[in-house]
């Protein structure tokens, strides 16, 4: 368990919390600040299944940062988090290459060009329910499905996008 911590990283490719192959972990009630290009607030990788990230406050700044990412991991829950990302290509929640994920009751604010509130890439049977998402900047997407995503559900999300070529929901 990772509970009730204040975590700050200030380096390129730094991760506030990194999980690789661990199952049934709880990451909750943390304040995480990540400053630096390619940084992550919470990063779970390669068969990190059945994990929950909840009630965290995550701020990221730096190009290509991600607040919470589950990469090639299944059956994970992201709920009740408050996320703010700043700078080019910053993501709030990113699910990549897996299935059965839940993003529920999160508040996500991305500021800058190509920000993504919630992104599903090569992800099936997943849900985004009751999230509040604000994106501002050129090519900002509230919820983005990319590259062979199937059987996913969006329900009761409040999405506000501003900026040229911005989309509340985008399917590619």
CA 143 to chain centre: 10
Q: How confident is the model at residue 83 (pLDDT cuts 50, 70, 90)?
A: very high
Span 32-52, mean pLDDT?
Answer: 96
CA distance 133 to 159: 5
pLDDT tens digit sequence for 126-161: 999 999 999 998 999 999 999 978 999 999 999 999
CA distance 111 to 127: 24
pLDDT tens digit sequence for 88-105: 999 999 999 989 999 999
Q: Kindly provide the b/e burial profile for residues 10-34, where b requires at least 16 CB atoms within 10 angstroms of the residue's own CB.
A: eeeebbbbebeebeebebbebbbbb
Mean pLDDT (the chain) is 95
Provide the whole-model pTM: 0.96
* Cα atoms found within 13 Å of the Cα of residue 149, Cβ hemisphere only: 26
| Closest residue by Cα to residue 46 from 103, 123, 98, 121 | 98
């Amino acid at each position: 368990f990772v509970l009730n911590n204040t975590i700050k990283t200030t380096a390129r490719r730094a991760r506030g919390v990194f999980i690789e192959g661990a199952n049934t972990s709880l990451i909750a009630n943390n304040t995480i600040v990540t400053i630096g290009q390619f940084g992550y607030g919470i990063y779970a990788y390669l068969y990190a299944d059945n994990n929950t990230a909840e009630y965290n406050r995550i701020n990221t700044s730096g190009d290509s940062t991600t607040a919470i990412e589950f990469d090639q991991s299944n059956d994970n829950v992201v709920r009740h988090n408050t996320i703010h990302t700043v700078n080019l290509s910053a993501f709030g929640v990113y699910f990549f290459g897996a299935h059965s994920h839940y993003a529920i009751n999160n508040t996500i604010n991305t500021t800058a060009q190509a920000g993504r509130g919630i992104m599903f890439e090569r992800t099936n049977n997943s849900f985004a329910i009751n999230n509040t998402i604000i994106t501002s900047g050129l090519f900002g997407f509230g919820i983005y499905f990319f590259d062979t995503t199937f059987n996913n559900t969006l329900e009761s999300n409040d999405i506000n996008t501003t900026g040229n070529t911005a989309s509340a929901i985008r399917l590619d």
